[in-house]
């Protein structure tokens, strides 16, 4: 096999695995969250601290969600290659927005997950004194407002899914499933809703991953 063919094969396998892995990894990350059935957003630092203090699964689940960021970037970039013909602008624009939103997802989890593991190492007395610092993190104070751009991830992938259906890459029903699944991410940290959305994403993206592995993922002729 020529060098270019080997590189092409590696890229195809890599993107296929990204398509297959990113929805279930996201789902597991959501399911590991405590109080998953709660429909209330946490806005108080003390309540937030009670959730993550000494909770390995909380931190690990958020780490998994952070690892979704590069997988989603690969998916968005791969799908942008179908930006020709009908649906081209939706695929291209959606890819740009989705990839940037995925980058912000990595920033979000880096700031609000990895940092929490450092706070978790404090002894109890010092930890309780850190509540004001935790509150400004929770309030997205300072330049953390940039994390609001995380909404570009579902918006971008929704546009891209519509474009992929127009281009004949995926069936319309699968596009609808992806759109609904991605739309649940606008609910923020209400994990029961986003978990349902991640299941729908599995239905939409995993078959695309297997098509990619078989070299069958392409736009309609």
Nearest-angstrom CA–CA distance, 189 and 208: 27
Q: How far is CA 128 from the centre of its chain?
A: 32
Nearest-angstrom CA–CA distance, 209 and 25: 14
Instruction: Report the domain count for the chain.
Output: 1
Q: How far is CA 176 from the centre of its chain?
A: 18
Q: Which of 150, 175, 211, 182 is nearest to 26 (CA)?
A: 182
**220 has a pLDDT exceeding 60:** yes
Q: Would you state the structure tokens that stand for residue 196, as one six-digit string?
A: 């349902």
How confident is the model at residue 111, as a pLDDT? 82
How confident is the model at residue 92, as a pLDDT? 94
Nearest-angstrom CA–CA distance, 214 and 12: 9
The model's pLDDT over 38-65, given as tens digits with 9 standing for 90+, comes to 888 888 999 999 999 999 999 999 999 9
Q: Are 72 and 98 in contact (CB under 8 A)?
A: yes
In a domain, 104, yes or no: yes
The residue range of the domain holding 101 is 11-31+39-213
In a domain, 89, yes or no: yes
Global pTM exceeds 0.85: yes
In a domain, 125, yes or no: yes
For residues 145-173, average pLDDT:
94
Which band of pLDDT confidence, cut at 50, 70 and 90, is reported for residue 19? very high
In a domain, 143, yes or no: yes
When mean pLDDT is compared across 1-5, 21-25, 29-33, 164-168, the lowest value belongs to: 1-5
How confident is the model at residue 195, as a pLDDT? 95
**142 has a pLDDT exceeding 80:** yes
pLDDT averaged over every residue in the chain: 91
How confident is the model at residue 3, as a pLDDT? 67
**Tokens 């990595």 found at:** 106
Task: Give Dmax (Cα) for the chain.
Answer: 66
The model's pLDDT over 88-115, given as tens digits with 9 standing for 90+, comes to 899 999 999 999 999 999 999 888 888 9
Q: How many CA atoms lie within 13 A of 72 on its CB side?
A: 35
In a domain, 218, yes or no: no
In a domain, 74, yes or no: yes
In a domain, 1, yes or no: no
In a domain, 94, yes or no: yes
Nearest-angstrom CA–CA distance, 140 and 42: 13
């Amino acid at each position: 096999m020529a060098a270019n063919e080997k590189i092409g094969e590696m890229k195809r396998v890599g993107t296929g695995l990204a398509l297959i892995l990113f929805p279930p990894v996201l789902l597991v990350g959501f399911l590991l969250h405590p109080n998953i059935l709660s429909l209330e957003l946490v806005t108080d630092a003390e309540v937030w601290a009670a959730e993550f203090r000494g909770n390995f699964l909380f931190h690990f689940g958020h780490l998994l969600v952070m690892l979704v960021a590069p997988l989603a970037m690969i998916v968005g970039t791969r799908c942008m290659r179908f930006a020709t013909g009908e649906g081209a602008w939706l695929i291209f624009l959606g890819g740009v927005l989705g990839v940037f939103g995925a980058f912000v997802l990595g920033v979000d989890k880096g700031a609000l997950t990895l940092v929490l593991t450092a706070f978790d190492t404090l002894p109890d007395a010092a930890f309780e004194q850190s509540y004001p610092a935790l509150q400004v993190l929770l309030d997205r104070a300072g330049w953390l407002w940039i994390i609001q751009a995380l909404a570009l991830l579902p918006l971008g992938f929704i546009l891209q899914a519509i474009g992929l259906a127009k281009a004949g890459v995926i069936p319309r029903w699968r596009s609808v499933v992806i759109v609904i699944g991605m739309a649940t991410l606008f609910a923020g940290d209400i994990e029961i809703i986003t978990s349902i959305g991640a299941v729908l994403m599995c239905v939409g993206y995993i078959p695309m991953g297997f098509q990619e592995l078989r070299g069958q993922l392409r736009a309609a002729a």
